[in-house]
Structure formats: structure tokens, C-alpha cells
Amino acid sequence: MASDHTAHGGHSGNSHGSHGRPYLMFWINMILGLIVMYVVMFSMIDGWGDFRNNLNMLYMAITMWAPMGIFMLATMPGMFPNRSVNIVLYVLFVVLTLGSFWATRSQAMIDDRQFIDSMIPHHSGAILMCREANLSDAELLALCEEIEVAQRREIEEISNAAVEANYQVNTFETGLSEAKAMGAMALFGENYGDVVRVVEIGGPFSMELCGGTHVASSSQIGPITLIGESSVGSGVRRVEAYVGMDSFRFLSKERALLAGLASSLKVPSEEVPGRVEQLVTKLRDAEKELERVRAEAARAAVSGLLDTATTVGATLVVEGRVPGLDANGLRSVVTDLRGRVADRQAVIALFSPSGDGPDAKVPFVIATTAAARDAGIKAGDLVKEVAPLVGGRGGGKPDLAQGAGTDPAGIDAALTRIREFVA
């Protein structure tokens, strides 16, 4: 009995110890999870130079993280047997979930500095999406252009807000490893000594390694006008701007230009963008209508091309010039012609010269029927033969290929080469 009792008591002691360890591991996992989730919140930024610790990212990370604690406690009750502790944890995580959600929606404790640190990663993510996404839709491409313009404008506003805040500029020397640990940026390579000079503006608003001279406070910079932004490497963007009097001069020119446009368009300055957009829309519609008329005229000439087609050996060669068509229109006419002679061994080759001198362009499209391909005549091979004769190049598949050149004078030689090839 004594032995049994001892064994039972020993079991109880081990069980008690095991009750404490799962809660320790629970908190280790939860803390690690929160750190990972916070860092992952920045996965969309354009480059780590845009990383800014901020409360908004912390609020959103906690909002997603806290419910995970509730799910773990609810789905693994056998691992966490202390009912009283579990109730306290449930209440804690519910409070954290609701509190972080409220803090995000109400922007709790988001002052000027926190606003800037929150907006920079946000805008950086938008720029990354527009640059890296595989977009083909014209409306989406136009939207990305608008986003980039808006991002530049907001970067400009944030920069001017920093100027207006009159942040103190501090310089100090420290070890290279310490400077990197503080988040100091090194933009000009990694050839630094053991001791570096750090320039800090407004705390971590801007911190970089630099040996040059600087203003004493951000307000001395004066107004900032952003004029350009481009990539200079992986995750690194170059921003160009006018400051001080140069900014005033640039804005003065822009104002004069806007006034001139308003006068020409006979609208107030604030209505110029809308008026320009209307004109651009009308111009696009006119261009589409013109292209439609040209395509109809080209198709009207199709029957004439068939009437003048020649037979070289066993191959029907439909060839000619169809001015006024772009590559898409030319391809449409060629495929239409091929469809009309699909039952024959035929090659269709059309050229659409336009312009003179250095502005000359010669798009061309060549197609083959199934019977021609069976005879070894491939459109891709023909394009490679004729492209150099018109000062261009091209390629494609056996059934349809296209190219473009700059020498309309070579079209006759190209047509001759096609006849020789199929003979």
C-alpha cells in the first residue's frame, strides 16, 4: 500500500510539473509567432530601406496573432489542463484582439512621426506591386501610373511635413556594427572604417552614414518638390527633388505652364486636368475610328490581292503592299486571306510601309496554309529570309510569322526572295 501510495504521489508530482511546462512552451511559441507575424507584415515593401517600425503594423500583427492563442487553447485542451489559467488567457487574448482592432481603426497614439513611419511602408508596397506585377490590361497599367504619381505626391507631402516639424539634425560617431544595428543606411558601398559618422534626423526618421555637411534642423531645407523617382538597384530607389529657392523657381514655372494651358483651353486652372482628360479621350476615340476605317479599306483591297496572286511552281503566292495598317491590322488581313485559300498550297505575304527617311517603318506578316507547311514551306523561315532585305528582323511559327523593318525600298527584293524560296 505504501509503495502504491508513493508511486501515486510521484505520478502526481510529475503531472504537476508537466502542467507548468506546456504553458511555458505556449508562451515561447506565441512570442516567437508575434515576432514573425510583425516582420511578415513588411513583406510587401519595395526594399528594406523602407522598413519603419510603427504602431499600425504592431496593431495589425496583434489583431491576427491574439486569436491564434484562443484557437490553441480551445483545440488542445489536453495540453493545457489548468482551467483557471485558461480562463485568464482567454480573457487576455480577447482583450488584445478587440483592443488592437480598435487601436487600428481609431489610430490610437498615431502622431506625426508614427503617421510617417506607417505611410512609408504602405506606399512602398504599392510601388512594388505596380512594378513587379505582370500586367497587360491597359486600364490597370494606367491605374499603376496614377498610383506612382500619387505615391510621389504623398512622398513629397511627407517630406515637407518632416521639414515643417523642424526635426533636429544630430551627428555622432560610433562603431560600424553599432550603426548598422541602429538601422543606419549606407548608400555608397560597404567600404567603411571601424568608426563611422552617423547623421540622424528627428530620431529614426532618417539615419545614414555620411561624412558631408548638413543643416542644423530639417526646417532649414525649405520646401521640397519631387521631380523624379527611379530604381538604382534591388530594393533601392533614387528620389530627385528641388529644395529651397530651386523648389520655388520650379513651382513658378509649373504655375506659368498651368496658366497657359488654362488660357488655351478657356477653363479655370482647377479644371485643366479634367479638360485634358476629355481631349485625350476624344483623341483616342478618333484614332480608333481612323484605324477602323483603315482596316475596312485594307479588307476592301483583299479581293484585288487575290486577283493578282501568282502561282510559283505548286504554290499560290498572295503578296502586296497594304499601306496604313499597324501590325495587328496587317495580321488580321493576312489571316483573312489565308482563310480564303485554305484549301490550296499558298503563302500570303503583306507589307505595310509608312513614313519616309529615318521615320520609315515596314511591318510585314507572312502566313502559310496547311498544304504549304506539308510541302516544307514555313512562315518563320520566310520571315528570316526577307527581314534583312527591309532592314529589320522578325520571327514566328510555321503557320504565321511577322517582323518589322525600316527600309521600304527593299520590299521588291523581299517579294522576289519569297518567290525564289517557294519555287
pLDDT tens track for 10-36: 444 444 444 458 888 999 999 999 999
What are the C-alpha distances in Å from 394 to residues 358, 367, 386, 391? Answer: 19, 13, 9, 11
pLDDT < 50 regions, the chain: 1-19
Per-residue model confidence (pLDDT) at position 12: 43
Per-residue model confidence (pLDDT) at position 234: 56
- What's the CA gap between 162 and 218, in Å, rounded? 7
Per-residue model confidence (pLDDT) at position 1: 44
Per-residue model confidence (pLDDT) at position 398: 92
Determine the topology of domain 301-422 in CATH: Diaminopimelate Epimerase; Chain A, domain 1 (3.10.310)
Reported pTM: 0.43
Task: Please give the angle made by the CA atoms of 177, 181 and 187, to the nearest 5 degrees.
Answer: 80
Side-chain-facing half-sphere of 18: CA atoms under 13 Å: 9
Side-chain-facing half-sphere of 380: CA atoms under 13 Å: 7
Per-residue model confidence (pLDDT) at position 7: 43
- How far from the centroid of its chain's Cα atoms is residue 349's Cα? 39
Per-residue model confidence (pLDDT) at position 236: 62
